[in-house]
Chain A
Amino acid sequence: MHTITLREGADLDGFRRAVRRLAASRTEPDTVLWSVGAPSLFGDDAAPASENGLPLFLPHAVGQLIETVVCHGDPERYALLHRLVWRVLNGERALLDQHADPLVHRLERLDKAVRRDIHKMHAFLRFRALPDPDGGERYVAWFEPDHHIVEAVAPFFVERFESMVWTILTPKGSLHWDRQHLMTGPPAERPDSLADDRFAEGWLRYYESTFNPARVNPTAMRAEMPRKYWVNMPETAAIPAMVRSAPARVQAMLEAEAAIPRRRTPEKAVAAMARQAPESLADLNRLIQRSEPLVPGATQAVLGEGPEGAAIAIVGEQPGDQEDREARPFVGPAGQLLTAALEEAGIDRGSLYLTNAVKHFKFVQRGKRRIHQSPTAGEVKHYRWWLMTELGFVRPRLVVALGATAALALSGRPVAVLRERGPMAFDGWDGFVTVHPSYLLRLPGDEERRRAQAEFVADLRRAAALA
């Protein structure tokens, strides 16, 4: 008979080392006695590697099950796990799939109990804030888990409360987090009193108020929140009174006559409420400026520019780098090209209303450069409400879409610009589609560009004639 003694608590390392040795020497589970308490035989890390045996290749699920089950308080856990490993290594690789096998079934129950305990500790632990000598706040909690899960829950609390300083005390060990390091400590005594602050009082009020006496059902409550956890939770102090008073509260509600409505028919307010849309272009622009960009990048919104009541509104794609810096539309290279083309067509830029389908510059930062990104169809749609409302204030006779993005925003469908250029009806507006000046900038040959520019100027002339 071999006797193996592991460290108190969840001795995953000790168990791993022991099982490796036992597997190497092909020791059968029935000849091993597992005990817990004294320092582990294999527990010291100084033991030579050869003493530790070679790593075992176990299915992932087996490894996971071991990690949880070692946390269980059941003194038989190591023997059961050893038997599992033995069978898996001796021809039953898929043993864990056999949920009906008595050993598997028993281990699954232990596993479930530990998981539940972990889950309940995540849920039912309450921190209280104590003032720290150096002015900050320190959060302290007391909890009584059923199993040896203190180390298993640590990652959850570190991740969730990384920016706080906290301590968790339990009879099975303690955890301390100083925003940098996690330290584990010995079992703790229940602190005499953890001073409550006003938040605790507020929480109690919240807990009482969120309860509906007409639905009282303490059995369902206790199934999920067994009494043994109540000592850790300040709000449970209110439960007896809540349950006791529930029937009377419901009775009172049922007996009360239907309420006579307070004479309060704020017709004006209700009518006014319906008129909530922005009432002027300036209103709308304030909204746009207050809003979060719906594309990544953007330092500020670029608003439309030009007189309300302009005969023609020109809609571009989205502001570029320079527009974003100056918060004005069409001031970059493409804008300059547009200005030149307008001049050539004999149209006064100052008489037009100029705006973009998307109000923010979408870009990614590469070193010092801000690389323009085209908006996606979804992003264009996000901005559509703004664009349409804007046009509603400007009331142009004709809306000119520059390029595919503007045409999509205005028509709500993808438009093949080169094929469909010319007049087009937009959602309630007479429209006209032509290319975006940045398309002209991208054309490779001089000849080609000259021809395309002439066509663009011709388009602008046609549009002006239509308006």
Chain B
Amino acid sequence: MDDALIEKLGILADAAKYDASCASSGAKPRSGGKEGLGSTTGAGICHAYTPDGRCVSLLKILLTNHCLFDCVYCINRRSSNVRRARFTVAEVVELTLGFYKRNCIEGLFLSSGIIRSPDHTMEQMMLVARTLRRDHGFAGYIHLKTIPEASPWLIEQAGLWADRLSINLELPSDHSLKAFAPEKNGGTIKAVMGQVNERIVEAKEERRRFSPAGQSTQLIVGADDATDRSVLETSGTLYQRYGLRRVYYSAFSPIPEASSVLPVKPPPLQRENRLYQADWLLRYYGFTVEEIASGGEGGMLDLGIDPKLAWALKNRERFPVDVNRADREMLLRVPGLGARAVDKILSARRHTRLRMEDLGRLSSGLRRARPFLIAADYHPVGGLTDRLDLRQRLVTPSSQLSLF
């Protein structure tokens, strides 16, 4: 690896860091064996964390940051003055293998600005994946960000080699997409999502390999005027209609070379955090978008408390919940009780009537859950849930923001 390559790596990693996707999970366990290289374990491993608290799991780079498009929120748009660079297919392959062998990464996340034509760009990305898999027996994780404007056949080819395909929607509504990404077309993006989803479902039925770890997308929050409710509605539709594995939220963050169309101040990072929590409730806790949004005001989530607590405070009449009797659905709605704690409660209560002390060993969020619970030796008298200052009492004074 020479100086020039290191220099390019710096530029093209910098350009890729605004993509929030990082997961390397969901692939079927496999291994490269004696001749190949690498394995996937199904769960994915974070190999390091950077000082922004985010993990490094994949080598996340752009093939090139030259771009013919002019999306205002993007540092790589054609009208920006950033330094440009471009990898060859062979260079990306060399970097991926080199870092993988040193146990720095789980695999590759490859994205790209659009050069020459969407097809040309997509083909280069597909060639990287194909070279890694076919010529080097690479069994690590590969995530390709598809270029939605590329021809369907190329996306089919990409799906043969990648573990995951993603198609970034970036903006939750068609009208902001039109305003901010003039060359992009919401219809095309969703058509590709539909195509990819169809192929994934078929491949499962026919036991073929096609993007086995599913597809994901990213939404930028805070660059346009979309409310949390409309962001979540978009996600809800994406999960239902296109079977997406993950929707990533990326709080719009100041970029060098910002366009004058963009807001000057970034949105609070906490907003992104709340959206992730809400997304979690959507996918694993049986909440609807309507319920989650009802916990906030004017379509925005409450930044001070998490969305589950916000919902509970607005639905106090449904609490307290008896941990020795309530069904799973209702236990999952108790603030402070995670899915894992709920499962432990369900299995433990088959043997004994749970007391507060037992719960303390089953859940680490008991302090917050307390006002909403009934246990064998504990019944909040006078209805703690009616107290007006409940919200105050539950919010930790200096809430340190933590990222997912």
- A residues touching B (Cβ–Cβ < 8 Å)? 94, 97-100, 102, 105, 119, 122-129, 139, 141, 156, 159-164, 179, 197-203, 205-221, 223-225, 233, 235-236, 239, 242-243, 246, 250, 253-254, 256, 258-259, 261-262, 264-266, 269-270, 272-273, 275-277, 287, 291-292, 294, 376-379, 381-382, 385-386
Contact = CB atoms under 8 A, between A and B. Distances in A.
Nearest to B205: A378
Contacts of A209: 9-11, 13-14, 17
Given A202-B98, A259-B259, A382-B156, A124 B48 contact: yes
What does DSSP make chain B's interface, helix, strand, loop or mixed?
Answer: loop
A205 B85 CA distance: 15
The 3 closest A-B pairs by CB, nearest first: A220-B53, A100-B358, A261-B79
Given A214-B253, A259-B259, A276-B119, A100 B31 contact: no
Say whether chain A's binding surface is mostly helix, strand, loop, or mixed.
helix
B69 to A, nearest CB: 8
Interface stretch (B54-62, B164-172, B279-287, B311-319): B54-62
B240 interface: no
Interface stretch (B231-239, B325-333, B396-404): B396-404
A292 B208 CA distance: 14
A219 B361 contact: no
Given A214-B254, A217-B402, A385-B152, 12 more contacts: A123-B45, A127-B103, A156-B41, A163-B35, A202-B95, A214-B253, A215-B403, A216-B52, A219-B53, A243-B51, A291-B153, A382-B153
B392 interface: no
Nearest to A252: B256
25 contacts: A97-B348, A125-B103, A128-B102, A129-B101, A129-B102, A160-B31, A162-B31, A197-B1, A203-B104, A206-B10, A206-B13, A219-B402, A221-B51, A223-B53, A224-B46, A235-B48, A246-B51, A258-B258, A259-B256, A259-B260, A261-B80, A262-B80, A272-B117, A276-B117, A287-B153
A182 to B, nearest CB: 14
Nearest to A221: B49
B361 A210 contact: no
- Residue picked from A97, A105, A208, A215, most chain B C-beta under 10 Å: A215
A259 B81 contact: yes
Contact of A126 (B6, B37, B103, B130): B103
A381 B200 CA distance: 13
Interface stretch (B288-296, B297-305, B349-357, B379-387): B349-357
B214 to A, nearest CB: 17
A94 B253 CA distance: 51
Given A159-B31, A206-B9, A277 B362 contact: no
Nearest to B254: A253
Contacts of B202: 376-378, 381
A253 B13 contact: no
B286 to A, nearest CB: 23
Contacts of B37: 161, 163-164
B156 A127 contact: no
Contacts of B78: 264-266
Nearest to A122: B45
Contact of A160 (B38, B68, B203): B38
A252 B112 CA distance: 27
A126 B102 contact: yes
B393 interface: no
B394 interface: no
A269 B68 contact: yes
A378 B204 CA distance: 10
Q: Chain A CB within 10 Å — which of B18, B53, B59, B120 has the most?
A: B53
A105 B361 contact: yes
A378 B95 contact: no
Nearest to B59: A206
Nearest to B272: A215
